[in-house]
Structure 1
Amino acid sequence: MVITKVRRAAKVITEDPAEEEAVEAVEAVETAGEESEESQETHYDDPWEPLVEPQPPAPPPLPHTTFVPGDDRRLPATPRELLGALPPLPRLRAEIIAGKLIVSPAGTTKHGRRIAALFRVMDPIASDKGWEAFPGHCGVCIEGPRDSLEPDFVIAPVDCPQWGDSELVSSWLIMVAEVVSPSSIKADREQKLRLFALGRVPLYLLIDPEDTQPSVTIFSDIRDGAYSVISKVPFGTPIRLPEPIGIELETSIFK
């Protein structure tokens, strides 16, 4: 580069035109090279600022689609379809309550013990009558709205019809039971109470350790879409379970 600048500062004089043309050609090539280097040079306000490579432009947003990329299956369009598409959820319970998909914890050890205590009492009675007892993990389809519930305890006929592969039809059940936990107070006391009556489940047993005084309540005799007979006792007092069960249940097992 220095030689080129010197050549430009001091005009090269030669008597040979061919040689002069050759020198001018070399100077032209070197001048073009300098201009190219200068055009590629990056200038910084801060000489210590690191070099940042230019980033490619962001890709355009994907168009709205109802299909999973790379798959020809349609995305779930309703809570019921989404529930059916969910993988197994260990220690969680997925239900559709009032048209909404609700995922809640499965319950504490104490919660599980109360369910187990009820199962130990009711399973022999159910077997004698040709029924089955399920301590949880049994889906129930509420006829009408088709909400999907998973009660803590279910008694059903052995030949109870099913909705799909995993849900018993509500109107065929004998009894359902729920153990109230802090996270399920409204669902168990209000929402499921209405749904079980709407689905014509004859008996709903509510075991409520979260009550001001821990209690057990049995709801029965459905009229106009609601339970018309309600019997409630504190823990430790026996409670009568109406027909078709027809026994006295000792509630001290839930303490």
Structure 2
Amino acid sequence: MRHEYDAAGERAVHAAPVGSPPTSTGLFEVWRELDVPEGWCAESIEERIVMTPPPGHEHNLVADQLHRLFVRDVPDHWAIFQTAGVSVAPRVGFFVPDLLVIPRDRVPSDADAAPVPAALGLLAAEITSLGDPETDRTTKLRAYAGAEVPLYPLVDRHGAGGPTMSLYSDPTSGHYRHLVQVPFGDGIELPEPFGFRLDTTRF
């Protein structure tokens, strides 16, 4: 069953909150200097540093399939990253989305050590984890909308009604105005500039 309507609206290790009140510059400096174990992911989420261990095999298989779907259909002058750090101002935070699509000419040079501003991307996607799905469903949803990321696909493997894929779009005044949600096995249409159907059969 397909749902389409207006939208109003991991197992992590949490480090001690950074100094109060935090600034984006201060958080970035802490985030950048972290000694993160190989394979772990460090993010700054709502004024705290969160370190997440490597995802499970099923998570990685979904991420691989999602990556393959985009590689097949996006033009060569767009980059597809699974490990890019992005900043989500005006909210104070630095995320590492499961997948980021961004024009190659918008990717900062290595001389700029700051994360990629999320709004420069065309799309940021997340895959929920069993330990902490609400971060992707609510916290990151609000943050990406506030940063005006045009599209936020959420692959929710642990939904109460079964696995679903949601596509949030049209960010306005800090929230996404449109949501399309389908169960695994159905397709979901990505609007322009993508303009192709995302098949969730193999998720």
- Please tell me whether residue 141 in structure 1 is matched to residue 97 in structure 2: no
What's the Cα RMSD here? 1.8
Q: Which ranges of 4 or more aligned residues in structure 1 deviate by more than 4 Å? A: none
Q: Check whether the contact 1:222–1:228 (CA below 8 A) recurs between aligned residues.
A: yes
Flag the 1:253–1:140 CA change in 2: closer, same or farther, 3 A: same
Partners in 1 of 2:59 and 2:41 — Cα distance? 14
Deviation at 1:125, TM superposition (A): 2.3
Partners in 2 of 1:184 and 1:85 — Cα distance? 25
The match for 2:139 is: 191
Deviation at 1:92, TM superposition (A): 1.3
Query: How many residue pairs get matched?
Result: 176
Deviation at 1:80, TM superposition (A): 2.5
Deviation at 1:78, TM superposition (A): 3.9
Q: Check whether the contact 2:73–2:196 (CA below 8 A) recurs between aligned residues.
A: no
Corresponding residue SS for 2:97? coil
Corresponding residue SS for 1:218? strand
The match for 2:166 is: 217
Query: Where in structure 2 are the equivalents of 1:1-255 lying within 5 Å?
Result: 78-128=26-76, 130-134=77-81, 136-162=82-108, 164-165=112-113, 167-212=115-160, 213-254=162-203
Partners in 1 of 2:99 and 2:152 — Cα distance? 10
Deviation at 1:167, TM superposition (A): 1.9
Using the size of structure 1 for normalisation, the TM-score is 0.65
* Rg larger for: 1
Choose between structure 1 and 2: higher strand proportion: 2
Using the size of structure 2 for normalisation, the TM-score is 0.81
Structure 1, unpaired ranges of 5+ = 1-76
The match for 1:3 is: none
Corresponding residue SS for 1:219? strand
Partners in 2 of 1:90 and 1:193 — Cα distance? 27
Corresponding residue SS for 1:236? coil
**% identity of equivalent residues:** 29
Q: Check whether the contact 1:236–1:250 (CA below 8 A) recurs between aligned residues.
A: yes
Q: Check whether the contact 1:216–1:234 (CA below 8 A) recurs between aligned residues.
A: yes
Bigger relative CO (Cα 8 Å, ≥ 6 apart): 2
Q: Check whether the contact 2:43–2:94 (CA below 8 A) recurs between aligned residues.
A: yes
Choose between structure 1 and 2: higher helix proportion: 1
Structure 2, unpaired ranges of 5+ = 1-24
